[in-house]
Copies of this chain bind each other. A is one copy, B any other.
Amino acid sequence: MTSPAEIDLLGVLAYGELVAFERTAADAKLAPNLADKAALGAMAVAEFAHYEKVSAHLAKLGQDPFEAMQPFMEPLNQFHNTLTPRDWLEGLLKAYVGDGITNDFYREISAHIDPETANLVSEVLGDVGHANFSITRIREAIEKDPKVSGRLALWGRRLMGEMISQATLVAATRPALQDLFLRPSGSDAATSATELVVMVNRLTVGHAKRMDVLGLAS
């Protein structure tokens, strides 16, 4: 029997990958040359394959994948519409920062879920080459024109802030999901509030490390 929290987890993961596909394809349009455009296209295709895999798993569990995804459409669309990259570099940084925080977040909860689901999550979150590609291109751009650093650092801070705020909103409306990562051992409300602060701190540290890799202030 799959718990409501795991259905939620798979639903948000499926919709996240479907949106990742759309956004990466949109970033491909901003690519400065054909080779980079084709590289982004291949990553978008890999993200769509991830969506299909999670969707098929939901169906196997007897769940309607679209129904499972529905509750997460608004917050994820909200996040993406608020922070639409204005250019190629902002798109790359968004993918790098967004995937990084997402992966850290799923890692936080994977210890508390059914092993089969945990395996699927870890497989789907396997990097499609996006991170290294983004790091290389952003570093090249900064080397060529150090002035872009300031703008990208600011963009990175906005992304992190918006992700935390949307995740908090989602958690507030999906208690089962929230319980999954905040009260793994049936702890009380006070412990759970402390857990939340501690988790946000860990995510912030992970984000800072990724910005460091690019030489950007977080």
Binding site for B on A (CB under 8 A): 15, 18, 21-22, 25-26, 28-29, 33-35, 37-38, 41-42, 44-45, 48-49, 51-52, 55, 66, 69-70, 73
Contact = CB atoms under 8 A, between A and B. Distances in A.
24 contacts: A15-B34, A18-B34, A18-B37, A18-B38, A18-B41, A21-B28, A22-B25, A22-B29, A25-B25, A25-B26, A26-B29, A33-B66, A34-B66, A34-B69, A34-B70, A38-B66, A41-B51, A42-B48, A42-B52, A44-B44, A44-B48, A45-B45, A45-B48, A45-B49
A8 B15 CA distance: 39
A21 B21 CA distance: 11
Contacts of A51: 38, 41
Contact of A66 (B35, B44, B66): B35
Contacts of A28: 21-22
Chain copies in the assembly?
2
Contacts of A70: 34
Contacts of A34: 15, 18, 66, 69-70, 73
A80 to B, nearest CB: 10
A68 to B, nearest CB: 10
A84 to B, nearest CB: 11
A143 B52 CA distance: 32
Nearest to A46: B45
Contacts of A15: 34
A52 B41 CA distance: 10
Contacts of A21: 25, 28, 41
